[in-house]
Every structure is written in structure tokens, then in C-alpha cells.
Structure 1
Amino acid sequence: MKRWVRKMLLALLISVVILALGIGLYIQQPKFGTLPQGARLERIERSPNYVNGQFQNLVPTPQFSEGNSTVSVWWYFLFAKKERLAPIASIPAVKTDLKT
């Protein structure tokens, strides 16, 4: 019985390693994207939201890691006064003729 359990654990370990390697190799395919280079990288770096090598939110968002509790974050989200809840100008709309 003990020998059987060892064989099963070894087979499970080998299966997990093969699965992890397969997934790792699969996600290296070009369809999953690559790091930006050339003109795309230059366009990203010119973005006003790109600061110190990463994108920054336009609106500050509460972080749990900054000492805020879950309750305080939810309280702020649900009850704090928000600015500009309605659009300043009218939103353009285009009537579509679905029969053409």
C-alpha cells in the first residue's frame, strides 16, 4: 500500500510539472502579446498618464495596502461625495439606420 501511494504522488508531481511547463510554453506565443518596442513604446512613453515607467490612474483610487481597511474603502465608495456625476456638455448621439 505504501509503495502504491508513493507511485501515485510521484505521478501527480510529474503531471503537475508537465502541466506547468506546458502552460508556461503556451503563454509565450505571440498572440498573448510582447513588451512594447519601437514606435509603440515611444507612443506609450509620451502618454501623460505614463509616469516613472508605469501608467497612473487619473482618479486616485484607495488602496488596501495604504493602511485603509476594507470597511473604510467601501464607506468611501458608497457614501463619499463625488464630483461631476452628470456630463458637463451634451453627449453626441448618432441615429443608426439598421436596415441599410
Structure 2
Amino acid sequence: MAAAGLGGFGFVHTAAFGRAPRGARLDRILESPHFTQGHFENLVPVPIMPEEVDNKENRFSAMWKFLFGDKSALSPAWPLVSKKTDLFALPHEEDIAVWMGHSNFYLQLGGRRILIDPTFGAYASPVWFINRAFAGSNIYTAEDIPPLDVLAISHDHWDHLDYPTVMALKEKVEHVVCPLGVGEYFEQWGFDAARIHEED
């Protein structure tokens, strides 16, 4: 048990998990008007899970169903139909949006190249058996992406901030725009702090 515990501790402390904010970044978080009682608050309250779900299902039964219920209808029965766009061939001056699946978009706006929430791996998870990409949905790789003016990250969940993808794109990224606190990941991963722009 001790070896398993140490192994688990070591696993969650690898670079892929990032590190907690510290120093001036932590001070900025603590001073934020959106940070109350130890966490960030949405400007408009949004319930994570209502007390009563469909058919008066409670949180426990909803969680039980999520963890152990039938998931056969949650994945497509056949590969998704996808078309891979040659991003290098797009006219740089043309405003374009290319949806790459889930929340991942490639944008050209006003002569700038922007990539949002890229996840190019087979799993949106630190382990291979959780959140597998639908067949046909992950057709892009970092090699398919031209040099970027901005890498924009909405939040730090695995399906929006994927360590292997970010590291594969690192040399192509001019600036990173991310939420307050998430810049700690990028600094740990060797991105120049002057090119990380954290918005509250």
C-alpha cells in the first residue's frame, strides 16, 4: 500500500499536472474580487449539479449512474466524418475559423493566428482509459499547426489544456492567453513569463 501511495503521489506531481500558483501570481489571485472563500466565483451563478436532476434524481444516484451506469449510447457507433484543412495553405490575411473538435478552434483574425484549447491526443486525461477521443475526431497534430500569434486556453481541464499537445506546440507559440493562475503551468513548462498573459 505504501508503494502504491508513493507511486500515486509521484504520478500526480509530474509536469503534466502543472503546479499550484505561488508568489506574485498567488498574491494576485488572493486579491481578485472574483476569488472568495478559497475559490473563484462565476460572475453569474451557475449550478454545477442542481439538487434535483431529471425525475427527481439526487446527486448520489446521478454520480452512481455517471460512474457505473451504461455508457454505450454516449459514443458514436461509427467514426465521425472529419475533413482535415491544410492550415498552412490558408491565405494569412483572410479571417477564418476552423473547428477541430470539442472546444478546439483555429482562427485567423485580423492577420493573427490563434489556437484555442488544443487537445490532439487520443485521451483527454492523464490515463489511457478515461475520456478517449471519438474515432475520427482527433485528426490534427501539432505538425499541422502554423506559427501562432496566440495560444488561448479557457481553463485547465485535461480536455482544454493538454500537456503533450502544449509541449509539441511550444516553439510555435508567440503569446499565451489564459485564466489567472493557469500561467503557473506554462511557466513550469518553460514558457517565457513575459509572453504569458493571464486574465482575471
Give your verdict on TM over 0.5: no
| TM-score w.r.t. length of structure 2 | 0.24
| TM-score w.r.t. length of structure 1 | 0.42
Greater CA radius of gyration, 1 or 2? Answer: 1
Q: Which has the higher strand share?
A: 2
Q: Which has the higher helix share?
A: 1
* More relative contact order, 1 or 2 (CA 8 Å, 6+ apart): 2
